[in-house]
Amino acid sequence: MEDYVVRSAIEGTQVIGFFARSTGLVEKAQAIHQTFPVATCALGRALTLVGIMGVSQKKVRRISLQIHCRGPLKEILVQSNQKGEVRGYVSQPMVILPPRKEGKINVEDGVGKGSQLLVMKDLGLKEPYLGSVEVQRGGIAYDLAYYFNRSEQLPSACSAGVYVAEGGEVLSAGGFIIHTPFGTPEEVITTLEQNLSRVGEVSKRLFQGETPEDLAEEVFASLPARVTGRESLQYHCYCSSDRARRALILLGKEELTKLLEEQGQGEVTCPFCNQKYLFDRRQLQEMIVSAQDKSRRFKS
């Protein structure tokens, strides 16, 4: 089944919602990184939310969501763009934690309260936009809503979930982001809160056959809402041999020379897709010359 995001707006207001199914891309991330359930759910939630953010913000070339975890997951980094291309990784994919009291996978302790959540937006300017907040719970969706409220002054509701089988397989994944800017009529806010309290776990509803359109209809029930767009999502990494080469050059002349003398070759592994790029002795020598030239230009 296709992964995609639907956009729905409430007429007469600036309220807008984005509802996603992301099962396939979370499955692919799990296969690439060989994640255990805690990491699968944490990474899957982050991928879903950043995927929504990527297709919802047309002025942003690329958006990154990074969590410096105080918990054992250590770090989560996910990225997306306007095309719905999503990629990401978690530093510690094999974390094992006891479930929470209600039997749910313990993402909250995997991330850790007091962690730092950063949002980076490439707007095509010299410097990217950067906002950050301290993680309040660790479940990721609530913490992103907290970020929207505190850093962007945009009241929001966020939800994301990954439904995992006993054997660790991804059965479904999805989520939503709803923005309710200041000035939204109080009766609209009240209706939304009532509707959201009845939605429950998004991933289980998707597993039972519901669609993002169904979720939009339920969340915006009794309100004059209509679907205004649909965008595909997919796990896609845009690494390349040229990007890997530039990454090695950034090491500088001394490190490249040391690499040449000790190993006779260079290797770069993309953390997002695990693709390996190998560079032989001749290519390393060319990089050393290139690193020298760049250093001279900088000094001049």
User: Same structural domain for residues 148 and 295?
Assistant: no
pLDDT at res. 123:
83
The CA radius of gyration of the chain, in Å to the nearest whole number, is: 21
pLDDT at res. 299:
47
pLDDT at res. 111:
98
User: Same structural domain for residues 49 and 153?
Assistant: yes
Structural domain of 32:
4-235
pLDDT at res. 58:
79
The values of phi and psi at residue 119, to 5°, are: -120, 125
pLDDT at res. 290:
83
User: Same structural domain for residues 264 and 156?
Assistant: no
pLDDT tens profile 210-262: 999 999 999 999 999 999 999 999 999 999 999 999 989 988 888 899 988 88
DSSP state of 293: H
User: Same structural domain for residues 213 and 260?
Assistant: no
Question: Tokens standing for 230?
Answer: 């649909």
User: Same structural domain for residues 173 and 109?
Assistant: yes
User: Same structural domain for residues 211 and 247?
Assistant: no
Q: How many CB atoms lie within 10 A of CB 198?
A: 9
Question: Tokens standing for 188?
Answer: 């609209």
CATH code assigned at 90: 3.55.30.10
pLDDT truncated to tens, each residue of the chain (300 aa)? 899 999 999 999 999 999 999 999 999 999 999 999 999 999 999 999 999 999 998 788 899 999 999 999 999 999 999 999 999 999 999 999 999 988 899 999 999 999 999 999 998 787 888 999 999 999 999 999 999 999 999 999 999 999 999 889 999 999 999 999 999 999 999 999 999 999 999 999 999 999 999 999 999 999 999 999 999 999 999 999 999 999 899 888 888 999 888 888 899 999 999 999 999 999 988 888 887 765 444 444
Structural domains in the chain (count):
2
Pairing status of strand 266-269 against strand 129-134: unpaired
User: Same structural domain for residues 261 and 224?
Assistant: no
User: Same structural domain for residues 250 and 192?
Assistant: no
Among 235, 262, 290, the domain-final residue is 235
Give the number of C-alpha atoms closer than 13 A to the C-alpha of residue 256, restricted to the C-beta side. Answer: 23
User: Same structural domain for residues 251 and 108?
Assistant: no
Among 206, 235, 264, the domain-final residue is 235
Query: What pTM did the predictor assign?
Result: 0.93
Q: Are 65 and 42 in contact (CB under 8 A)?
A: no
User: Same structural domain for residues 254 and 207?
Assistant: no
Q: How many CB atoms lie within 10 A of CB 190?
A: 10
Among 214, 235, 256, the domain-final residue is 235
Q: Are 21 and 244 in contact (CB under 8 A)?
A: no
